[in-house]
Structure 1
Amino acid sequence: MARIAVIGAGMGAMAAAARLATAGHRVTVYERGATYGGSVGRRTRDGFAFDTGPGLLHLPAVWRDVFVKTGKEPLERCVTLTQVDPASRHLFADGTSVLLPNASRAGVVAALDAALGAGAGERWGEFLGRARQTWERVRRPLLEEPLPADPAAPASEDPYPAPRRGLLRRRAATLAEVGGRELRDPRLAALLDAYAAAYGLVPHTAPAAAAVLPYMEQTFGSWYVAGGTRALAEALYERCLARRVEFAFGAGVVATDVAGGRACGLVLADGTTVPADTVVSGAPLPVLSREGALPGREAGGWPRCQSQVRTGRVTVLLALRGERAPDAVHRTVVHGPDGPGEWSALAAGRLPERPTVTVLRPDDPLVRPDGAHEALTLTATVPAEPASGAWTAGTGGEFADRMVEAARAAVPDLPDRVLWREVRTPEDTRADTGSAVVPPPALPGVSGALLPAANSAPVEGLYAVGGWAHPGGGLAHAGMSGALVAGLVVEGAGFRGSR
């Protein structure tokens, strides 16, 4: 039975902790904050409840596996999952609207043909076919297997294939190029771009392999957790407690002890030394490395973290008077009028004048005081650290005004219904998680710029889990990360992932 110290109580860290405790190890989680869940937070006030992180669940099979492997109660006995159908509504700048069904490729093709004109659905369907080929090539090496110390193979080439017909058969270099060359409709291109931006990627610099992101959602579906995604974090925390994982909150880590080339414990902010046989870090690696809490490169620490993207999110929590409209859609994406300009601004660290905004309107009595009110959340992808200066209450409030104005396309009477609102900027994300940046998922191409740190450090006994480690950011990826780290700790360097 090994003593395992886990830094941080995020979703990936708790997934690893539960698995390691189930394997018979003594696991203690040291969290600098007052609660668990990392970016999967909750804000409650006056009977309203809001997710402050992801509002929908994709690839629920990942979390079903966590709960099956760590106890007798499956996921569906711990939380209530509902498929969101339609999966999303998209409102384009020209006034066009389309409802996309959940997990139905044929249904999506038909919906796009009906809304955007004959041929639009066919082009999207052909794109999804190429995205499927990409998914089949990257699924194991970039999601289900540990990242090798030399990731040259998965990073060397973007596996997104070239179209087999048409005058231009060369392979697209970026996701934006896929939209322009292959989809040939600015609305379809905007649809594709929005999937990338939702994961914190800039379409003009994201590799074409980012096509796997809409493929995953449209193939495996979108799910809502009753009470909000925070309920999943609560269930995972309870599973950890049931497996006898111990938690120490308010326990910041300032250093990792290394002796004889092996991690051997932690030093807490109050000076306490914690001995451990193994250390698992679920906190942002760039922050911990900068603060000296993890071994640096000179000590054999992680040589690489994602370097291309530094985006965050502005979230506006809106408490509304008046009941939810019977025909309201759970998720609506209101596309900005100038997609290319918006993404260019994002890449340059500037705030767009008219942002693309996602509107979440869950039909859930658990998140509102009664049927005469509604809880609504707006999100937009923004620079984590704007070129104009740090985020302030004034900057966040002014940008939130733009978001509310854009959201009127989805909820016309929105301004008149607001009881109160709260604005969360990347600085709030920093306060919750340690970093203002929302890490994207691992993707091949772009010289490995979107490959996160490997789960195993060159320092023996030291591992990384969560969004800043392989396979990168995203709720499903966090669960996969926990499985990879647990496998490496239990089975050693010979672990090759789940089959």
Structure 2
Amino acid sequence: MARIAVIGAGTGAMAAAARLAVAGHRVVVYERTETYGGAVRRFERDGFRFDTGPGLLTLPAVYRDLFVKTGKEPLEDRVELVQVDPSARHVFTDGGEVSLPNASRAGVVAALDEALGAGAGGRWGDFLVRAREAWDRTRRPLLEEPLWPDWRVLGEKEPYPAVPHKRLLRTRRAGTLAEIGSWELRDDRLTALLMSHALAYGLDPWTAPASAAVLPYMEHAFGTWYVRGGIRELARAVYERCLERRVEFVFGAEVSRIVEKDGRAAGVELADGSVAEADHVVAGVHPARLRALTERPLDAEGDVRADPGAVPPARFTLLLALRGAREPGAAHRTVVHPAAPESEWDFLTSPGGDLPPPPTVTVLRPDDPTLRPDDGHEAVVMSAAVPADAPWEEESTARRYTDLLLDAGRLAVPDLRERLLWHEVRAPGHVADETGARSGSVPAPSLAGGQGRFLRPANTTRLPGLYRVGGWSHPGGGLAHAGMSGALVAGLIVEGPGFRGSQ
């Protein structure tokens, strides 16, 4: 039985802890805050309850596997999973809108043809076929296996089979998500729909590789799911599974240093000066934080994977308490697209001193009685990708974004401002405080192509005995990918460096 110290109680870290405990190891989780879940938190006030992190789940099979492997008990025995249908309602400023059925290619094609004109559905359907090919090519190396030692080959070749496009007497193929929209979808509204999937993960569509096409494909192929009571209930279920497997949690325990002995990780030192010895250390923290805890480089010189110095966009969220009942047939998720999406994308990467343009806004309206005081009220969550390095310490910045989100929300929620009882602002600083992520930025899933710049660091490090877990490590961000990182780390510790992933 090995002693394992886990830094952080995010979902990926807890997934690793539960699996390692089942394998017979003694696992202790050190969390600097007073609760578990990382970014998967809850805010409660006046009988209203809100998810403050992710609001929906894709690839629920990751957590189904976790619960079966750690207790031979279905996930559905612990939480109620609800398939969201329609998957999303998309609203455009020209007055058009479309509701996309969940996990139905034929239904999506028909809906797009009816809403956007004949041919729109066919182009999107053809795109999904190509996106599936990219998914099939990258699913194992970028989700189910530890990062290859020769990871550079994943960045050299673009797995998305782009359609040849003639331009200025040259034949080119889309290399970015924006080029897919321009050259293959050939409709501003379809392009906006595609880009919204990238923005949800803080990706810039102009630089995100074409392989980011797997993001809408995952939703299409595996469905969009909601956990009754909110996604926080999923984190609670994983935490309780850890306790059942005798994982020990120490809250309010900030790790100040990773202890080394004989050239390997040998435990953690806490802020109070105490030392907890361990045979392995699993770190579920931001790369900048991990560097501060160690005394040596953790990756090879010249490594170009996901620049740890870069600050990807963050998320600005409004929690709205509304008077009045949710109208019948209201969509669970509505995405409101701005009139000038190019301005939003430019501002996310180079905010400068200009006022922010209207962003793409996601509105979540779960039909869930557990989130509201009674049926005469409604709890709504609105969010948008924002520059992480904007002057969030200035009250005017948050006020400006609040107005932008509320203006967009009128297209998703009838009489929004008139129904508003109160709202709570969740700026990037809140995420930074809760997760330790630099500037509150949000990690994206690992992606192939792009010369490796969209890959996350490997779960192993150059310091023997030290492992990385969670959204800032392979296979990247998002609930499903973070959960898979836990499975990969557990496999590497239990089976050793020969571990090659799930079969």
- TM-score, structure 2 length as denominator? 0.96
Question: Are the equivalent residues in 2 in contact too, given 1:286–1:305 (CA < 8 A)?
Answer: no
Cα deviation code 1:415-462 (max 9, x no counterpart): 011111001011110001001110111011222111111000011111
Deviation at 1:397, TM superposition (A): 2.4
Q: For 2:489, what is the secondary structure of its paired residue?
A: helix
Deviation at 1:401, TM superposition (A): 1.2
**CA separation of 1:169 and 1:74: change in aligned 2, threshold 3 A:** farther
Q: Which residue of 2 aligns with 1:464?
A: 468
Q: Which residue of 2 aligns with 1:41?
A: 41
Paired residue for 1:263, among 238, 260, 265? 265
Q: Which residue of 2 aligns with 1:489?
A: 493
5 Å-filtered alignment, 1:22-421, equals 22-163=22-163, 170-289=172-291, 292-297=292-297, 306-307=306-307, 310-349=312-351, 352-386=356-390, 389-421=391-423
**Aligned partner of 1:349: which letter?**
P
Cα separation, 2, equivalents of 1:223 and 1:324: 20
Cα deviation code 1:162-220 (max 9, x no counterpart): 22688886321110010000000000000000011001101011111000000000111
**CA separation of 1:374 and 1:302: change in aligned 2, threshold 3 A:** farther
**Aligned partner of 2:151: which letter?**
P
Q: For 1:419, what is the secondary structure of its paired residue?
A: strand
Cα separation, 1, equivalents of 2:337 and 2:331: 16
Cα separation, 2, equivalents of 1:444 and 1:347: 21
Q: For 2:455, what is the secondary structure of its paired residue?
A: coil
**Aligned partner of 1:29: which letter?**
V
**Aligned partner of 1:17: which letter?**
A
Q: Which residue of 2 aligns with 1:441?
A: 445
**CA separation of 1:385 and 1:361: change in aligned 2, threshold 3 A:** same
**CA separation of 1:299 and 1:96: change in aligned 2, threshold 3 A:** closer
Cα deviation code 1:63-85 (max 9, x no counterpart): 00001000132100000001000
**Aligned partner of 2:422: which letter?**
W
Q: For 2:317, what is the secondary structure of its paired residue?
A: strand
Cα separation, 1, equivalents of 2:298 and 2:213: 37
Q: For 1:9, what is the secondary structure of its paired residue?
A: coil
Which range moved further: 395-404 or 462-471? 395-404
Q: For 2:378, what is the secondary structure of its paired residue?
A: strand
Deviation at 1:305, TM superposition (A): 5.5
Question: Are the equivalent residues in 2 in contact too, given 1:227–1:367 (CA < 8 A)?
Answer: yes
Alignment RMSD (CA, Å): 1.7
Cα separation, 1, equivalents of 2:275 and 2:149: 30
**CA separation of 1:99 and 1:151: change in aligned 2, threshold 3 A:** same
**CA separation of 1:447 and 1:299: change in aligned 2, threshold 3 A:** closer
Unaligned stretches of 5+ in structure 1?
none
Cα deviation code 1:245-285 (max 9, x no counterpart): 00000000110011222100100011011100000001112
Deviation at 1:149, TM superposition (A): 3.2
Cα separation, 2, equivalents of 1:374 and 1:412: 12
Cα separation, 2, equivalents of 1:201 and 1:300: 25
Deviation at 1:288, TM superposition (A): 2.7
- TM-score, structure 1 length as denominator? 0.96
Cα separation, 2, equivalents of 1:302 and 1:65: 36
**CA separation of 1:371 and 1:466: change in aligned 2, threshold 3 A:** same
Residue-pair matches, total: 495
Cα deviation code 1:368-390 (max 9, x no counterpart): 0000000000000011112xx34
Cα separation, 1, equivalents of 2:302 and 2:332: 40
Q: For 1:488, what is the secondary structure of its paired residue?
A: helix
**CA separation of 1:392 and 1:429: change in aligned 2, threshold 3 A:** farther
Cα separation, 1, equivalents of 2:171 and 2:415: 47
Question: Are the equivalent residues in 2 in contact too, given 1:133–1:161 (CA < 8 A)?
Answer: yes
**CA separation of 1:304 and 1:74: change in aligned 2, threshold 3 A:** farther
**Aligned partner of 1:476: which letter?**
A
